[in-house]
Amino acid sequence: MPLTVGTAGHIDHGKTWLVRALTGKDTDRLPEEQRRGISIDLGYAPLVLDDGRALSVVDVPGHERFVRTMVAGATGIDLFLLAVDAGEGARPQTHEHLAILQLLGVENGVVAVTKIDAVDPETVELAVEESKELVPGAAVVPVSAKTGEGLDELRAALARAADRVERVRAERPTRLYIDRSFSVRGFGTVVTGTLWSGSIGDGDELCVEPAGRLVRVRSVQVHDRDVARAESGQRVAVSLPGIERRELKRGDALTEPGAYPTSHRLDVKLEELEPIPPDARLQVHVGTSQTAGRVVRVGDRFAQLRLVGPVVAARGDRVILRGETTLGGGTVLDPSPPRHRDEARMELLERGDISATIHAPVLVESLRFVLDGDPEGVVRAGPWAFSAEWVAELEGALRVELEAADPLDPGVTPPSESWAADVLPLLHFERRGARLYLPGAQASLGERTEDAEALERALAEAGVRATKLEDDELLRFLESSGRLVRLGDGYAIGAGAYEEARDVMLSECRASGEITLARFRDLAGTGRRDAQLLLERFDQDGLTRRVGDRRVLRRAATRSSSS
Ligand SMILES: Nc1nc2c(ncn2[C@@H]2O[C@H](COP(=O)(O)OP(=O)(O)OP(=O)(O)O)[C@@H](O)[C@H]2O)c(=O)[nH]1
Ligand SMILES: [Mg+2]
C-alpha cells in the first residue's frame, strides 16, 4: 500500500536537509528558496525504505507565513515526519503544525530531533525528552543530516510507523487534489497531487472540479516514472491534453465524474483550538484548496461552513479553519447539505444514521454523498425517498383541508413540489382534473338543499325577469350545477329562461343580421333593464358583439349549429 509522509516543523529546523539526506533529492528547487535558504512551496521526493517499500515524501515550508501551504501539503498524507531542532526545541510552528496534523487526523509519524552534530549530548537529550512529551506515542529519533548519524534509525522508525497506518478511504472513487500544475512541451498540461482514493490510468475520463470540466488522461507518472495505472496513496503526475494550464489551479480536484459533490456549504463537526465565534469569517482548507467562508454555528459542536466559492469534499474529510493562525478544524458530516441549520440532523449524521435524517422527500441520488448503498427504513417513490411518517402527515393535512373544502367544489389544489407527481399516487385520494378529492366526493349544499330548491322554483316562476340575489352561497351552488345564470348587478335568471332568451336573440340575428335593445325587449317579453343585462351577458359569453346601439353575432355563434 503506497503511503505518503509529510514533513512538519518550525522554520529552519532542518526538514529539507533531512529529506535530502533520506532521499538524495533537494526539494528546495525554486531560485528564491535557494537564495533565501528557506522552503516556500511544497517539495516532493520518493523515499525507499530498507524493506523496499516506497514512500512519497512531501516537504513543507515552516515559515509562519506559509502555514497555508503546509496545510495543502499535509492534507492527504498518511504519516508525519516532525523535525525539531535539537538546539532550539519546540517553537510556534512546531506546535501549530502538530495541531494541524491532529485536526487532519494524521496520527502516525516520527519525530526527528535534528542537527545533533551542532550541540552537546545533554542538549540533544533535553530535546528528545521534550519531543516525547510533545508527541506521545511517536518514536523520537535524534539525527544529523550533515553527518548521517541516526538516519538508519529514522528509516526504521518510519517503517514501523507505516505498518500502523490504515487507509480507509482507498476504496472510494477516484479523487486527487491538485497541488501543482505546469506545462510540459509535448505533453500539454501536467498536474500533480496525492491520489486520495481510486486509481488513474491512461485514457481515463476524469472531471476537474469544481468547474465540472471533463478531461481525458494521456499519461500517468509516479515519481517521474511512467505507469499504466497509479494507485491510491501515490504521488501522481497526470498529463491532461486539451486543457490550458490557466484553467487549473492548486485546490482543484480531479475526480471520477459525478462521484463527488461540489458545494458552497459543508456541515461539519467542529474541533476548536480556540473558541470560534458565531459567524466568524475564516479561511477554510479542504484538500489542497483554500476558500474564504463563514462559520455558522449549529449547537455547541457543529457548524455549517458557508463558502464564497464551491469546493469538492466527501463525508469524513477533515477541514482546517484558519484566521491569522489555525483556530480549529472539522470533520465533514455532509459535503452538500441543505441551507438550513439543523442540529438534530447533524447529530444523526454524526452517528451515521442517515435514514433517520430523511423526512420530507429527498432525491435518492443526493444521498450517495452521505451514504453507501440504499437508504433503509424509508419510503421510495420514483427518484424520491421520504419517511412513512412524512407521507402520513401529508395525507392527514390534505384530508383536513378536503374535509373543510367548499361543499360546492369539495376539492383542493394538490401540492406542486417536484415530488408531487411521484408521491400523490400513493395517497388515498381521487384526482379529477387539476384537483384532489376524497374518493367519490360530490358537490352538495348539505342542509341548505331545500333553500336551493326553493330558490330554483322562484327563478323558474320569474321566467325572463331577472331576480336580485343576496345569498352568495346558494347562487354559486346553483350556478356551478348549471341551474342558474348570473347577470350583472347581482341579478340572476333561471337556466331555462336564459336559454329561451338566447334562442330568441339568435333567431332574430340570423334573420335580420342584428338586434337592438328595443327589439330584443319586445321579442323576449321582458323589461328594458333585464333585456340590457341579458344582452351584456350574451356579449360576455362571446355570442354577440356590440356595434353602436345594435348587436351582431360573433363568428363563433354564426357557425354554431345548435340554436
Ligand atoms: N549542523 C547542521 N545544520 C543543519 C542540519 N540540517 C540543516 N541544517 C541547517 O539548517 C538550515 C535550515 O535547514 P532546512 O533543512 O532548510 O530547514 P527547513 O526546516 O527545511 O526550513 P524551512 O523549510 O524554511 O522551514 C540549513 O541551511 C542548514 O544550515 C544538520 O543536520 N546539521
Ligand atoms: Mg525546508
Confidence of residue 562 (pLDDT cuts 50, 70, 90): very low
Q: Which of 128-137, 217-226, 293-302, 479-488 has the lowest mean pLDDT?
A: 479-488
- The residue whose C-alpha atom lies closest to atom 7 belonging to ligand 1 is 14
Tell how far the Cα of 18 is from the centroid of ligand 1, in angstroms.
8
Q: Quick check: bond before 210 cis, omega within 30?
A: yes
Q: Is the pLDDT of residue 241 over 70?
A: yes
Ligand nearest, relative to CA of residue 8: 1
CA distance 464 to 532: 12
Ligand nearest, relative to CA of residue 142: 1
**Predicted local distance difference test score (pLDDT) of residue 559:** 61
* Closest ligand 1 atom number to CA of residue 63: 25
Confidence of residue 154 (pLDDT cuts 50, 70, 90): very high
- The residue whose C-alpha atom lies closest to atom 5 belonging to ligand 1 is 115
**Most ligand 1 atoms within 8 A of CB, residue of 11, 13, 15, 17 to mutate:** 17
* Closest ligand 1 atom number to CA of residue 83: 19
- The residue whose C-alpha atom lies closest to atom 32 belonging to ligand 1 is 115
Pocket of ligand 1 (CB under 6 A): 9, 11-17, 37-39, 61-63, 83, 114-115, 117-118, 144-146
**Predicted local distance difference test score (pLDDT) of residue 561:** 44
CA distance 254 to 204: 11
Q: What is the mean pLDDT of the chain?
A: 91
DSSP conformational letter for 276:
-
Confidence of residue 170 (pLDDT cuts 50, 70, 90): low
In the beta sheet, which residues pair with residue 183?
189
Averaged pLDDT, 316-342: 92
Tell how far the Cα of 22 is from the centroid of ligand 1, in angstroms.
14
Q: Which of 63-72, 253-262, 302-311, 527-536 has the lowest mean pLDDT?
A: 253-262
Stronger pLDDT, 291 or 366, i.e. the higher one: 291
Tell how far the Cα of 31 is from the centroid of ligand 2, in angstroms.
13
CA distance 543 to 476: 23
Tell how far the Cα of 76 is from the centroid of ligand 2, in angstroms.
19
* Closest ligand 1 atom number to CA of residue 33: 24
What is the percent of the chain where pLDDT is above 90?
70
Distance from first CA to last CA of the chain, Å, rounded? 90
Backbone angles phi, psi at 491, to 5 degrees: -95, 155
Most confident option among 105-119, 234-248, 356-370, 433-447:
105-119
Q: Is 355 helix (H, G, I), strand (E, B) or coil?
A: helix
Dihedral sign (CA 187, 189, 192, 198): negative
* Closest ligand 1 atom number to CA of residue 20: 15
**Predicted local distance difference test score (pLDDT) of residue 341:** 86
Chain segment 381-398, per-residue pLDDT in tens: 999 999 898 999 999 999
Q: Which of 28-42, 210-224, 346-360 has the lowest mean pLDDT?
A: 346-360
Ligand nearest, relative to CA of residue 18: 1
Averaged pLDDT, 286-303: 96
Please answer whether residues 276 and 270 qualify as being in contact, where contact means their C-beta atoms are separated by less than 8 angstroms.
yes
**Predicted local distance difference test score (pLDDT) of residue 560:** 54
Q: Which of 222-226, 445-449, 455-459 has the lowest mean pLDDT?
A: 445-449
* Closest ligand 1 atom number to CA of residue 11: 25
* Closest ligand 1 atom number to CA of residue 144: 31
Averaged pLDDT, 312-339: 93
Tell how far the Cα of 11 is from the centroid of ligand 1, in angstroms.
9
**Predicted local distance difference test score (pLDDT) of residue 407:** 75
The answer to whether the pTM exceeds 0.75 is no
**Most ligand 1 atoms within 8 A of CB, residue of 16, 64, 69, 144 to mutate:** 16
- Report the half-sphere exposure of 398 (CA within 13 A, side-chain side): 25
Chain segment 11-60, per-residue pLDDT in tens: 999 999 999 999 999 999 889 998 999 999 999 999 999 888 889 999 99
The enclosing H or E element of 457 equals helix 449-462
**How many CB atoms neighbour CB 323 within 10 A?**
13
DSSP conformational letter for 532:
H
